[in-house]
Amino acid sequence: MCGIIGIASNKSVSSNIIQSLKKLEYRGYDSAGIATIVNGNIDEKKCSGRVDNLEKILFKNPTKGVSGIGHVRWATHGIPNTLNAHPHSSEEVSVVHNGIIENSNQLKQDLEKKGYKFKSQTDTEVITFLLTDFLKNLDLVDAINKTLDKLHGSFALGILFKKHKDIVAGARRGSPLAVGYGPKENYLGSDSYALKSMTNKITYLDDGDICLLTNNRIEFYNSKNKKINKEILTLSNDKHTAEKGDYKDFMSKEINEQNITVKTCIKEYIDQIRKGINIYNFPINPKEIQKIILIGCGTAFHSCLTAKYWLEELTSISTEIDIASEFRYRKIKFNKKYLYIFVSQSGETADTFAALDLCKKNNVKTCSIVNVVESSIARNSDFVLPIHAGPEIGVASTKAFIGQMLVLYILAIKLSEVRGEISKSDYEKNIFDLKKLPDLIKETLDQQDKIQIIAKDFLNAKGAMFLGRGLSFPIALEGALKLKELSYLHAEGYPAGEMKHGPLALIEEGLPVVILAPKDRYFEKTISNMQEVIARGGKVILITNENNKIISENVRFTFEIPAANNNLAPFLMTIPLQLLAYHVASLKNCDIDKPRNLAKSVTVE
């Protein structure tokens, strides 16, 4: 998704803006641009494609301005080309924008009547001309506020002014925006990650806030043009670096470090001395929680689904799951005895944030499970459980998915203990087994060569299916999502028991079907479903922890995961599915870390 950088300095800013834009590349984008003020005029440079292209343009034609804004764009209004790339400038101002202006068509018509000539197909240009118009009679803050009043939708803005060469302004409603404090310059960023290499002192703008930055001053204003004070936060140090190291891409690094991220997370939550789980201060007395509602999008939603099985198995709390983009628009019956849990790697997903906001407005208690602890979702929840996975850069979520499941599983065990619903010995046994998970993951990762061979079978397939029951069902959904997202191959994840109700019609000679069948209470039933697939010509890849030659007959490949506590099977089955998607995509020469059309942080709905 789009990303914003702004720097107010007393020396040329273009190369730092480029470096910071590179930090935002992980979000997924299709064009890039920069603007500075040079000799009293706005100097705008932009291009389609990667930040590298922009860097080449700047290499040939450097820009010397001491304050500037930069942007990576993920197209919403208008195709990804140079003209639609941000910034969008008039004679007076230059604007970069994240988000969507829902009433841009109407505003455009009004501005055209006033004589403004639009160059792009974007919704952003209306902001440029509205500001230009208000600046004729108003000061900066008033003109920004009057412009914001006209806009419907969600946005974060970075603004430069021809007549104020040392000022960078920012404003937000709905989309996140952070301000960073440097020793001799100050920064604006759509997330703190992009600012981390320059500063660890950050302030987050709230909806309706405006900021004005110079190299040695930062001022904040509210929607009534009044100066306000804001808290300065110190960002946490990441224990894991966001560098690729010797890996070909971030995704392979992130898959291969999962034994370590899981170990780190377990250490954070398991008290080594008391051998208990370190989760206290629940926002509702755990004994009084009547229901848990888990909400997320995409992969995060799949982790919510695994948690439903664990919570139902380990506690008496009834559990519902919801997709954030659906939850936010339904007529929900909120209840103060329910705990609403939001799961999000980035903590910035627009739909998940809106669902959280709705809960807050209805005065119910919220908990978030996030990777980015400084994120909007974390900052706005009553209770935060970090997954401690370190920065995840690959657009396809891997270690964060495992981390989300891990924290949800730990939470389920903790709730069963504090509610008195598990015996002491079972509680301790679950923790004892959980501590083996990093080694079990390592053992599974060590077999990755086998997956490379299996991946070849998917190359000429016209689609693939992933089937599982119980805890394996969400993993089937996740396996299918990973394959679609990375290799652009159509894939369906299904509960194996649903096959006869329609999807069995899809099975034909040679169709790859991944069957997830750990030796749990569903095992025999899943194996029967597998036989039905084989009988119709499906090419089965069986993932199991049951070593049984008879069962493996007529199966194209069997991938054995280590035997473990049944509750840990979802973690172990996920690994071969991540690797499968990775290798199919590699064989098809797809862009592994930045799949087409997708973004890491989905900050528009």
Under the rule (CB under 6 A), what is the footprint of ligand M6R?
297-300, 344-346, 349, 352, 395-397, 481, 485, 598, 602
Beta carbons of 131 and 111 less than 8 angstroms apart: no
CA 421 from centroid of its chain's CA atoms = 34
Q: How far apart are the first and last CA of the chain?
A: 11
Q: Which is nearer to ligand M6R, 107 or 604 (CB)?
A: 604
Q: Which is nearer to ligand M6R, 346 or 574 (CB)?
A: 346
Q: What minimum distance in Å lies between the beta carbon of 445 and ligand M6R?
A: 19
| Angstrom distance (rounded) from CA 506 to CA 492 | 10
Q: What minimum distance in Å lies between the beta carbon of 80 and ligand M6R?
A: 19
Q: Which is nearer to ligand M6R, 352 or 487 (CB)?
A: 352
The active-site residue out of 23, 45, 46, 600 is: 600
The active-site residue out of 2, 304, 359, 367 is: 2
Q: What is the sign, positive or negative, of the torsion defined by CA atoms of 488, 489, 495, 500?
A: positive
Q: Which is nearer to ligand M6R, 395 or 534 (CB)?
A: 395
| Angstrom distance (rounded) from CA 290 to CA 419 | 11
Tokens of 513: 């079907």
Q: What minimum distance in Å lies between the beta carbon of 457 and ligand M6R?
A: 22
Would you call 339 helix, strand, or coil by DSSP?
strand
> Between β-strands 365-370 and 383-386, what pairing exists: parallel, antiparallel or unpaired?
parallel
As a 3-state breakdown, the chain gives helix, strand, coil percent values, each rounded to 5, of 40, 25, 40
Q: What minimum distance in Å lies between the beta carbon of 268 and ligand M6R?
A: 19
Residue 600 designated active-site: yes
| Angstrom distance (rounded) from CA 351 to CA 362 | 17
Beta carbons of 525 and 473 less than 8 angstroms apart: no
Q: Which is nearer to ligand M6R, 396 or 464 (CB)?
A: 396
| Angstrom distance (rounded) from CA 522 to CA 511 | 24
Q: Which residue is nearest to ligand M6R (CB)?
A: 298
Tokens of 226: 């009044």
Q: What minimum distance in Å lies between the beta carbon of 349 and ligand M6R?
A: 3
Q: Which is nearer to ligand M6R, 168 or 395 (CB)?
A: 395
Q: Which is nearer to ligand M6R, 353 or 522 (CB)?
A: 353
Q: What minimum distance in Å lies between the beta carbon of 127 and ligand M6R?
A: 26
| Angstrom distance (rounded) from CA 65 to CA 53 | 20
Beta carbons of 127 and 151 less than 8 angstroms apart: yes
Three-class HEC string of 9-54 = CCCCCHHHHHHHHHHCHHHCCCEEEEEEEECCEEEEEEEECCHHHH
Residue 297 designated active-site: no
> Between β-strands 318-323 and 186-189, what pairing exists: parallel, antiparallel or unpaired?
unpaired
Q: What minimum distance in Å lies between the beta carbon of 394 and ligand M6R?
A: 8
Q: Which positions are catalytic?
A: 2, 600
